[in-house]
Amino acid sequence: MRAAEDAAGIRLITAPASLFACCVACAALWTGARESLALPLPLPLGECRFALDPLRSVFLIPTFLLVAVASLVLPGRLAAMDEGADYGRHGFFFCLLASGMVLVVQAADGPLFLILWEIMSLAPFFLLVHNGKRKKSLPEPAPKPHRDGEGGHGSPAASDAAFAGRIYLVAAHLGALFLLLAFACWETGAAGGPETWTPARARLIFIATLIGFGAKCGLFPLHVWMPEAHAAAPGHVAVLMSGAMLNMGVYGLVTTLRLLGPGDLLFAYILMGAGALSGLFGILAASAQSDMKRVLAYSSAENMGIILLALGACLLALQHDAQQAALLAAAGALLHVWNHSLCKSLLFLTANAVKESLHTTLIPRLGGLQKRLPFTGACFAAGSAAIAGLPPLNCFLSELLIYLGLASGAHATRGTEAALVFMAAFFVLGSISGMSLFTFTRLYGLTFLGLPRSGDGAHARKPDAALRAAAAFLALLCVTAGLAAPLMFRLIRPALLFFTGDHAPQSAEALAFIEELLPRYTCAASAALAVFALVRLANARARRASRECGTWTCAYPYGNARMQYSAASFALGLVLFLKPLLRPRITVPAIRALFPGAAEAGFSAPDRPTELWIKALFQPVVYAANKAKALQHGLLNIYILYILIALTAALVWALGVSS
């Protein structure tokens, strides 16, 4: 009872406050407000400064919105934990993560930013390892490697929360080390700022920040923590981690690029290459997974890659004075930050509803859930269609702007190597979109359509009212954001000029072109949605009117689950086509008897970068950390001895330097 009261109290305070703050951030972005605040604090921090501007407001809006959504569903998610879970501790770290993300965006000096970044990075670790154990009324079999397309790196602890927490912690601190390097190089640079730096120093800072912030937003090959952490996280934590915390890495990169300026062409090429690589690998890995949450995690790496591809295209366009292409690409990138947050949060919420209902998210054990969980299935279908970039939903709008930016850039730089880069990026983005459509068609179809592949579906129960309300709200936002294109662009317009610069008259012409285009898109999207609704209504009436079997059903009018695609067979064609890239492990049973018994064929597509990182970095770090525990004796005398040794070493070093 006390736990329920604590959870309700968190929701009562956090949700309204976050919604109010989201409205304030929207108003600040609409007006282009810029504010600053300085708090005098004791050394070593000095004066801690906070700031608010249009670019920061872009990242604050989804953060506040998703904190409100996660707070709304938090009591129901805590109720799904066992009675031994520490709800007070969980609520504390939940609020710490939310406040850490907000303050990171508003921090305006280096030391404060690094301290808040570390606080934000540590909070998810405690949410992962102290989230309690799930109540299980249904037995869940141990994972079978190399069967039915089960992905992962093959570790038996891949779905364990403690294992996920350790991997996340090592990855977070690895990124923090590179950020420390970048800030140290920045602070020791010339007093004149980036304009007076050597190209080598600017490139070192850029590479260090790309690695540090790229590890946070899950870029390939720094994505290794995402599949494990997102699969193990409770629903409300996954909403914040996938929909809001990943944006912090993008914010860091955008801020770094704005401070460094578009002076180096290499920055644009590196960003576009890293984005293309992450997008292609993320969606390829997602297409071969057989766990719902792991598919969504790899899809996040894909969408972060799309955002970086657009940011690199914006820099490349600015290098060639193609202001229209730069504004289109920047608008697509910033809108995709919002759209990905909405879609991925909706998908993780509904996947968590399946997890709580059936105690599994393995696709080979699911199927036919649309009839048993119609509301959950409808929301998951909306999120899948949106994240796959189908019109007229929200991700189609942001991807359309990126396509237009790439095409405009190729036209403006025709006859140069930049035009080839723009055209190659256009092709890569099209390939990513096509494979994304395949991946989410497979995910939704195998999970919610057809017949159940196991008896688990008979125990399905609908989610609680708070989760249904949150999912409906996010699904409505996905549709509304796609149809309200002029309003969305009007919102981010101050941030666009803040990022790309206001170069009249090129900016005025580019903005006029976009503002003339978007109302036409809205009319076409509304017409497409109306046609879809009419066709859907006609099909529903036709199904109710007649339930007769077709003529050519071959005596199987109603098949069973064995006649359906499995998770492996659906993706096998794509996996074989991309075999050199995925390097799958295919298992085909040998027939050695005249009347063979039951057999099972399948494949696994292990994440090779994850396997390499685990063997080369994570396992040695965990081993060293376990050995270092011997230093913790619990004796005050030993700790005083450690301090004495450290002070002696510092004194010897200082004397050596002075001499």
Question: Tens of pLDDT along 410-451?
Answer: 988 888 888 899 999 999 999 999 989 999 998 998 888 877
343 or 263, which is more confident: 343
Q: What is the mean pLDDT of residues 633-652?
A: 82
pLDDT number for residue 111: 83
What residues contact 514, with CB distance under 8 A and at least 6 apart?
Answer: 327, 328, 331, 401, 489
What residues contact 194, with CB distance under 8 A and at least 6 apart?
Answer: 202, 259, 260, 261, 263
Percent of the chain residues topping a pLDDT of 90: 18
pLDDT band (50, 70, 90) for residue 138: very low
Q: Is the link from the previous residue into 392 a cis peptide, with omega within 30 of 0?
A: yes
What residues contact 441, with CB distance under 8 A and at least 6 apart?
Answer: 384, 388
pLDDT band (50, 70, 90) for residue 307: very high
- DSSP-assigned letter for residue 359: S
How much is the mean pLDDT over the chain? 80
pLDDT number for residue 309: 94
Pairing of β 47-52 and β 35-40: antiparallel
470 or 164, which is more confident: 470
Pairing of β 602-604 and β 35-40: unpaired
Residue 367, Ramachandran bin (φ over 0: left; ψ between -120 and 50: alpha; else beta):
left
Counted residue by residue, the chain has a size of 659
595 or 69, which is more confident: 69
Interaxial angle between packed helices 110-129 and 225-232, expressed in degrees from 0 to 180 and rounded to the nearest 10: 50
pLDDT number for residue 8: 67
Concatenating the DSSP letter of every residue in 507-568 gives HHHHHHHHHHHHHHHHHHHHHHHHHHHHHHHHHHHHHHH--PPPTT-TT-SS--GGGS--HH
Task: Kindly report which listed range (225-229, 435-439, 597-601) carries the lowest average pLDDT score.
Answer: 597-601
Task: Kindly report which listed range (304-313, 369-378, 533-542) carries the lowest average pLDDT score.
Answer: 533-542
Minimal CA–CA distance to 227: which of 307, 155, 148?
Answer: 155
Measured distance CA(563)–CA(477) in Å, rounded: 37
Q: What is the mean pLDDT of residues 561-586?
A: 70
Minimal CA–CA distance to 292: which of 241, 224, 365, 221?
Answer: 365
Does the pLDDT value for residue 557 go beyond 80? no
pLDDT band (50, 70, 90) for residue 257: confident
Does the pLDDT value for residue 339 go beyond 90? yes
pLDDT band (50, 70, 90) for residue 247: very high
pLDDT band (50, 70, 90) for residue 481: confident
pLDDT number for residue 92: 85
Does the pLDDT value for residue 562 go beyond 80? no
pLDDT number for residue 166: 81
Rounded to whole angstroms, what are the CA distances from 350 to 235, 366, 474?
9, 14, 11
pLDDT digits (tens, 9 = 90+) for 265-287: 888 899 999 999 999 988 988 88
460 or 30, which is more confident: 30
pLDDT number for residue 65: 93
Amino acid of residue 484: A
Does the pLDDT value for residue 459 go beyond 60? yes
pLDDT digits (tens, 9 = 90+) for 38-81: 887 765 666 788 888 888 999 999 999 999 998 888 877 777 66
Measured distance CA(485)–CA(123) in Å, rounded: 35
Percent of the chain residues topping a pLDDT of 70: 82
Measured distance CA(318)–CA(365) in Å, rounded: 50
pLDDT number for residue 15: 82
pLDDT digits (tens, 9 = 90+) for 69-122: 988 888 777 776 655 556 778 788 888 999 999 999 998 888 888 889 999 998
pLDDT number for residue 457: 62
Other Cβ atoms closer than 10 A to 520: 10
pLDDT digits (tens, 9 = 90+) for 153-197: 433 333 467 778 888 888 888 888 898 888 888 877 655 666 667
Minimal CA–CA distance to 245: which of 363, 97, 107?
Answer: 97
Interaxial angle between packed helices 246-260 and 54-79, expressed in degrees from 0 to 180 and rounded to the nearest 10: 170
